[in-house]
Amino acid sequence: MPSLLHFEEIDFLRCRFAVSPLWETHQAVRTLKLPGRHGYHTPWLRRIRTAAAGLDLTPLWLLMPRHGHTPDWFGPPPIGPAATFEEEIAAVRAADPAAAREDTARSLAATPGASWSPYGRAWLADPARMIRELADALEEVWQVLIAPDWPRLRALLEADIAFHSRRFAQVGLGGLLPEISERCSWQGGTLSVASPGRHERRLEGRGLVLMPSVFVWPHVVSDFDPPWQPALVYPARGIGGLWSGPTGHAPDSLVRLLGRGRAAVLGALDEPSSTTVLARRLGLAPSSVSAHLSVLRGSGLLTARRYGHEVLYERTPLGIALASGEPR
């Protein structure tokens, strides 16, 4: 049965995109338990296998039923368009214990026996402690499994937003939403999302947060209850090339396409780097590297972000795919 989101005129003016490191952390935990999500992420799963084995994910999985409610306090929609993990986990820690207990009880009811498990009984008896323990568990997962790869993940998510922002301008919201996922359809001001259960909500001026996700694939999530802002979480474009690693040298095909200098710069960006660092690494003049970076960025192969006094360059999903040298 579909989930239905009904738009009013004001809602069209209050739609925005967002990126959420907390949501990627949640969905990565789900991915570890759901073989159907492993396809694109097999290289990542192999690499983090040992680190993941050292984490106790059981309490997190208990509140992530395959069919049923996940507590909204535990994984709320993003608080801003570019919130950091630290800001988002602080919002989780600030959850009201009474409301969190009610929300958690609803989630535990979706899993037979969960309410009477040792975790369930302890959480319902002391929801303030529950909030601390689960926030600590999420923070550990972030630090161990997600933070090391966050620059790469963020580059892909921001590239998705750039693409869909252009499509929004070209075809409007009603044209964009069915393009985001085949699970979405649009008719008469109502967004319909194919889902296991029925969920219906009128936005009533709150608008909609559109949020790409690496790990939510192949699903789409849309059911956030009041007072949370409605959100649509959908699979990001380009995840097929996300985990392609650098080859250690610029492939001949890439050299022919870009020229040796630009191919070398793109190949050297296996992690976010500044012009100065790249110039030192490649033995090139900073002015030459700067010129190459400008062309690569203008071609959609790199993104740039300012960190303090530095500008760091990162590959976009297209840049990752080209630098990998693998056929697409």
* 244-324 maps to CATH 1.20.1260.10: no
Tell me the C-alpha distance between 131 and 138, whole Å: 11
Tell me the C-alpha distance between 222 and 29, whole Å: 19
Range in 14-23, 26-35, 280-289, 306-315 the model is least confident about = 306-315
Contact 151, 54 (CB under 8 A): no
Tell me the C-alpha distance between 18 and 8, whole Å: 21
Q: What one-character-per-residue DSSP string does 91-117 give?
A: HHHT--HHHHHHHHHHHHTTSTTGGGS
**Residue 140, pLDDT above cutoff 90:** yes
Contact 195, 1 (CB under 8 A): yes
Range in 85-89, 121-125, 278-282, 294-298 the model is least confident about = 278-282
Tell me the C-alpha distance between 244 and 322, whole Å: 9
**Residue 21, pLDDT above cutoff 90:** yes
Tell me the C-alpha distance between 288 and 294, whole Å: 10
Full-model pTM: 0.74
Q: How confident is the model over 169-181, as a mean pLDDT?
A: 89
Q: Domain map of the chain by residue range?
A: 2-240, 244-324
Contacts of residues 283-289 at CB distance under 8 Å and 24 or more positions apart, as own/partner, are 288/261, 289/265
Q: Which of 287, 270, 289 is nearest to 278 (CA)?
A: 289
What backbone torsions phi and psi does residue 142 show, to the nearest 5 degrees? -55, -50
Model pLDDT for residues 184-238, shown as the tens digit of each residue: 899 989 998 887 667 788 888 888 899 999 998 888 888 666 767 788 999 988 7
Torsion over CA of 129, 130, 133 and 136, rounded to 10 degrees? -110
What mean pLDDT is reported for the chain?
Answer: 85
Q: How confident is the model over 261-268, as a mean pLDDT?
A: 88
Contact 121, 75 (CB under 8 A): no
Range in 60-64, 77-81, 224-228, 293-297 the model is least confident about = 224-228
Name 99's Cβ contacts closer than 8 Å, sequence gap at least 6: 73
**Residue 245, pLDDT above cutoff 60:** no
